[in-house]
């Protein structure tokens, strides 16, 4: 039987010439057509004439175009145009009428359905395609769009291995809750399909679709779970003789266990499918982005996965720590990252050459997400902009990968390894990748490593390197920053890669320090770097050093600014800078500085945080790491295992920041009245109230019974420690120096512990009610009170007999710094604190699980406390009575809170966060609960182009 088609070869529709049919479905016919205006082939989808009379079909047809065209993602079909026009037959006959059409990207390839059942593609490859598709769907969900008709036939795999999600014909824009309208939302209310209308392909429907209920993004998660099941078993999960029976199974039955059909499917895949196919939306995996991340991890580690067990079903585990993440962050940087949410206006950039203001952002600049993993650490563009190298991973496990920008192809250069990799950079010829790797033997040092760009054996090319390297134009030398903390200076080093020799050609002395990585000018004459002076000066200076003599020229200076990386634009007429301008109210953003004019233009201007930058020539391209985080506070009961959410942030700017716990309340920093202020909320939940902490921005907060102590960035650009009563009265300044960083407050609330950022660096102690401050340790920058409040534990950097520096832990008196005890030779240890029976507890960073150990004050061998055999610990904290130990364990997906007895027995998981990270956790004073700050942090590389 011949099928009647709307269009025939050589027909004309608008400016399209029909070549031939590609397919047809319930929502339209698809043709291969030539766009004669742009001279390219497209897929042209039209609505059959007999269906034009259906207003509902026309509406849904138009909705597909609007939904898909609003998205810009490599894993979503690109929509070129939507229109309506007369058909002009090739025969020359009169027009056959007007039709609706969508012009879209032509993808040459096969559907996932064909990959499943015709090509018999292996499961690992299929999971890679599905991970790409999940990234595209996550993009749609982030824009408020639910697909509602996911199935293998709606995911196309191009001939070059790129997955594309098709057919948003059933998509609807999710409605926003009352009062949550966003200025950046695509639309306030979209397609409001009435409850009772059943749309979608029955075998992949969610239970709520079958029942005709309104749906959200979790319906797509269920449908995607059905596709995953089919990929693993080559069968649909719900099969019956009729659609009605199929829908009954979706509502009331579980699919046949995957292991009964294909026993070789890894347990991690089976677990993921089960989490997607829960009947109740609240019990499913809640984010398509998390699903994409898990799929990528499974693909990366596929050969090592077992078909019999998963990390989620084992009885114990742990997680590798990234100690810096839980370390103290500069209060100025914290404030700069968040006060943008308060809407503070823009300030003026005062350059040495003319005092030009910062110009408005590039209006036509285009930013595209390149990695879409969420766990990227850092990245770099090749000189020609064709390749992006990036390091990804969590909990101290890293992989180095290279992505071809034009095609999206992604290859593994270094497999996932138990090491911290950082700061990649391409050699000028693109043949090699250089990167930093933490030394196993000496964790305080990084080695400079090199590996061929397409993979191979890594080799060490330098030692004690503290920043990304920049290359001389001929590629023979590199320049980098090296910190020399024992001499309170930082240096720029030039290393000859062939001879292996180094020379120190520039030094920066405290209170000034080098902000980040340097950059060698294209003509080889200058090396640019930002220097930072902490309070009381609080300024950043863009410095040009002569590459041969080291002569210094201060090119640009800005107060209340903190810039880190800088990169020359290849034509030498400007530089890209990344950093924060506090009084402009922006987070760490990307800027372009003209050279030699000194005019600065802001490239980005949003609520995300940008870290580092590399630049490619030709048509200028900038790559930077973009970070976004949403977090909330939770109250966890370690006895009965319940978890209660205390705050309800749904955006980065509304997230709580640092916090501490009183007997019945939690004190935390949050945005209020255009400032970062303090608020208190009942420990058991309820309404919170703001405290008046005076002008300025409050950051680190420590609460003791009856008193709240906090840091405040004041109008003079300095950070001081302040105190107030719990009821908000009695505001009073505690420290009066040149800028202080609050470390701790004694349990009795009588003394404070802090650092200074001027020339008198070290750990200091002072009475909270006023009095002289005492320098306890000039070589330390971290410290905490012992529970009796009379002594302090400090970490000092000390040179050993070999000339290397190691951390020595000391116990000193809080009033004059007299040394009472010293702990040496602890190896690769971190996260120090007081343990039971006058012991010191720490995490052994050489242990694969980062387990907790204790060593007695009198010396002797260390004793292992926690006994996790998988995962990694990223933090530990003793209860007030020292009888229980709370730890954070990373299981490869996210982090959760566990509690063990003081001897390490009776390990119990307390929280069940799904793909979230825990940044801070604290016991309540009575030891009955733990307050946790947990959230989702997304870190991906973004590339910016189109700077005309």
Both tokens assigned to 370: 């390149």
What is the DSSP-derived secondary structure letter of residue 200? S
The upper half-sphere exposure of residue 348, i.e. CA atoms within 13 Å in the direction of its Cβ, equals: 7
Of 745, 668, 696, 751, give the one whose Cα is nearest residue 538.
Answer: 696
Of 273, 281, 267, give the one whose Cα is nearest residue 254.
Answer: 273
Residue 145: other Cβ atoms inside 10 A? 28
Whether 942 contacts 367, CB under 8 Å: yes
Of 938, 915, 939, 916, give the one whose Cα is nearest residue 272.
Answer: 915
Both tokens assigned to 611: 């870290």
Angle formed at CA 394 by CA 389 and CA 398, multiple of 5 degrees:
45
Q: How far apart are CA 126 and CA 228, in angstroms?
A: 9
Q: How far apart are CA 865 and CA 587, in angstroms?
A: 41
Q: What sign does the dihedral 235-240-244-247 (CA atoms) show?
A: negative
Secondary structure E strands in 395-458: 397-404, 410-417, 421-426, 432-438, 446-452
SS3 for 53-87 is CCHHHHHHHHHHHHHHHCCCCCCECCEEEEEEEEE
Task: State which H helix or E strand residue 533 sits in.
Answer: strand 526-533
Whether 720 contacts 736, CB under 8 Å: yes
First to last CA, the chain: 56
Q: How far apart are CA 822 and CA 680, in angstroms?
A: 39
Beta strand pairing status for 863-864 and 621-636?
unpaired
Contacts of 27 (CB under 8 A, 6+ apart): 47, 57, 60, 61, 64, 167, 169
Q: How far apart are CA 204 and CA 822, in angstroms?
A: 64
Q: How far apart are CA 787 and CA 414, in angstroms?
A: 45
Choice among 11, 35, 149, 565 that is catalytic:
149
Does 536 sit behind a cis peptide bond, omega within 30 degrees of 0 on the bond before it? Answer: yes
Of 277, 336, 358, give the one whose Cα is nearest residue 515.
Answer: 336
Both tokens assigned to 832: 């120090």
Angle formed at CA 220 by CA 214 and CA 222, multiple of 5 degrees:
100
In which residue are the tokens 């609520």 written? 607
Alpha helices in 409-516 (DSSP H): none
Q: Catalytic annotation on 149?
A: yes
Of 919, 900, 841, give the one whose Cα is nearest residue 315.
Answer: 900
Q: How far apart are CA 947 and CA 394, in angstroms?
A: 34
Both tokens assigned to 380: 């770099």
Mind giving me the DSSP string for 126-190? Answer: HHHHHHHHHHHHHHHHHTTEE-----GGGEEEETTS-EEE---TT-EEPPPPTT---TT-S-SS-
Does 118 sit behind a cis peptide bond, omega within 30 degrees of 0 on the bond before it? Answer: no
Q: What sign does the dihedral 467-573-367-405 (CA atoms) show?
A: negative
The phi-psi region of residue 104 (left if phi > 0; otherwise alpha if psi is between -120 and 50; otherwise beta) is beta
Whether 357 contacts 349, CB under 8 Å: yes
The residues carrying an active-site annotation are 149
């Amino acid at each position: 039987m011949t099928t009647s088609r709307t269009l025939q070869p050589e027909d004309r529709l608008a400016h399209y010439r029909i070549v031939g049919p590609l397919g047809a479905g319930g929502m339209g016919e698809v043709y291969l057509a030539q766009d004669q205006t742009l001279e390219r082939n497209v897929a042209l989808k039209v609505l059959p004439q007999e269906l034009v009379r259906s207003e509902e079909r026309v509406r849904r047809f138009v909705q597909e175009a609007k939904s898909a065209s609003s998205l810009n993602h490599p894993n979503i079909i690109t929509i070129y145009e939507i229109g309506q026009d007369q058909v002009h037959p090739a025969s020359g006959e009169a027009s056959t009428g007007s039709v609706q059409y969508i012009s879209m990207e032509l993808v040459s390839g096969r559907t996932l359905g064909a990959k499943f059942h015709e090509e018999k593609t292996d499961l690992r490859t299929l999971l890679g395609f599905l991970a790409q598709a999940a990234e595209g769907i996550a993009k749609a969900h982030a824009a408020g769009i639910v697909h509602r008709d996911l199935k293998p036939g709606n995911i196309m795999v191009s001939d070059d291995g790129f997955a594309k999600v098709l057919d948003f014909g059933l998509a609807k824009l999710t409605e926003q809750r009352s009062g949550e309208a966003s200025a950046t939302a695509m639309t306030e209310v979209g397609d409001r399909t009435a409850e009772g209308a059943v749309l979608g392909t029955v075998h992949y429907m969610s239970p709520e679709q079958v029942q005709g209920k309104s749906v959200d993004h979790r319906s797509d998660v269920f449908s995607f779970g059905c596709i995953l099941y089919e990929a693993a078993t080559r069968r649909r999960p719900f099969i019956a003789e009729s659609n009605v029976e199929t829908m009954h199974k979706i509502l009331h039955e579980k699919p046949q266990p995957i292991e009964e059909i294909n026993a070789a499917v890894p347990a991690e895949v089976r677990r993921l499918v089960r989490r997607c196919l829960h009947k109740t939306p609240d019990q499913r995996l809640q984010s398509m982005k998390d699903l994409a991340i898990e799929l990528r991890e499974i693909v990366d580690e596929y050969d090592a996965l077992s078909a019999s067990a998963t990390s989620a079903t084992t009885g114990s585990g742990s997680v590798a720590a990234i100690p810096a993440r839980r370390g103290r962050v500069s209060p100025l940087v914290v404030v700069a990252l968040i006060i943008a949410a308060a809407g503070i206006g823009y300030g003026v950039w005062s350059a040495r050459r003319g005092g030009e203001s910062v110009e408005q952002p590039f209006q036509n600049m285009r930013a595209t997400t390149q990695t879409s993993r969420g766990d990227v650490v850092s990245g770099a563009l090749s000189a020609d902009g064709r390749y992006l190298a990036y390091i990804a991973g969590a909990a101290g496990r890293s992989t180095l990968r290279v992505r071809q920008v034009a095609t999206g192809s992604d290859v593994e250069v270094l497999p996932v390894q138990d090491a911290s990799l950082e700061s990649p950079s391409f050699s000028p010829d693109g043949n090699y990748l250089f990167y930093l790797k933490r030394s196993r033997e000496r964790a305080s040092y990084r080695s400079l490593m090199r590996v061929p760009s397409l993979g191979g054996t890594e080799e060490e090319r330098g030692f004690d390197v503290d920043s990304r390297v920049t290359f001389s134009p001929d590629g023979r030398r590199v320049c980098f920053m090296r910190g020399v903390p024992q001499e309170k200076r930082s240096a720029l080093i030039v290393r000859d890669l062939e001879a292996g020799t180094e020379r120190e050609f520039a030094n920066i002395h405290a209170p000034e320090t080098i902000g980040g990585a340097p950059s060698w000018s294209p003509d080889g004459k200058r090396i640019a770097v930002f220097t930072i002076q902490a309070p009381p000066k609080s300024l950043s200076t863009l410095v040009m050093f002569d590459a041969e003599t080291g002569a210094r020229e201060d090119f640009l200076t800005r107060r209340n600014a903190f810039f880190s990386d800088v990169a020359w634009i290849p034509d030498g007429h400007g530089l890209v800078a990344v950093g924060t301008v506090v009084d402009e109210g922006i987070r760490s953003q990307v800027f372009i500085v003209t050279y030699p004019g000194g005019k600065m233009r802001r490239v980005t201007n949003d609520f995300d945080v940008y870290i580092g930058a590399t630049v490619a020539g030709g048509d200028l391209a900038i790559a930077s790491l973009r970070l976004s985080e949403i977090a909330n506070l939770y109250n966890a009961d370690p006895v009965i295992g319940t978890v209660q959410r205390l705050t309800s942030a749904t955006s980065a700017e509304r997230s709580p920041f640092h916090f501490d716990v009183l007997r019945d309340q939690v004190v935390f920093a949050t945005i209020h009245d255009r400032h970062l202020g303090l608020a208190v909320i009942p420990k058991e939940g309820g309404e919170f109230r703001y405290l008046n902490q005076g002008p300025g921005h409050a950051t680190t907060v420590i609460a003791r019974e009856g008193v709240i102590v906090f840091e405040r960035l004041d109008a003079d650009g300095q950070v001081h420690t302040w105190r107030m009563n719990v009821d908000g009265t009695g505001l009073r300044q505690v420290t009066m120096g040149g800028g202080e960083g609050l470390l701790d407050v004694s349990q009795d609330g009588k003394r404070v512990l802090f650092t200074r950022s001027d020339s008198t660096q070290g750990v200091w102690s002072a009475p909270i009610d006023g009095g002289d401050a005492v320098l306890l340790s000039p070589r330390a920058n971290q410290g905490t009170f012992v529970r009796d409040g009379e002594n302090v534990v400090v970490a000092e950097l000390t040179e050993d007999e070999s000339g290397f520096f190691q951390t020595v832990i000391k116990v000193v008196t809080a009033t004059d710094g007299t040394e009472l005890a010293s702990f040496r030779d602890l190896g690769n240890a971190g996260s120090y604190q007081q343990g039971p029976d006058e012991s010191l507890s720490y995490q052994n960073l050489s242990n694969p699980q980062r387990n907790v150990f204790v060593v007695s004050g009198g010396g002797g061998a260390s004793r292992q406390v926690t006994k996790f055999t998988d995962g990694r610990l990223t933090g530990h904290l003793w209860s007030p009575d020292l009888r229980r130990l709370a730890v954070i364990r990373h299981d490869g997906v996210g982090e959760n809170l566990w509690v063990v007895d003081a001897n390490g027995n009776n390990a119990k998981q307390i929280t069940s966060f799904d793909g979230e990270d825990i940044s801070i956790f604290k016991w309540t004073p009575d030891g009955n609960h733990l307050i946790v700050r947990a959230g989702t942090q997304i870190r991906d590389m973004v590339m910016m182009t189109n700077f005309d």
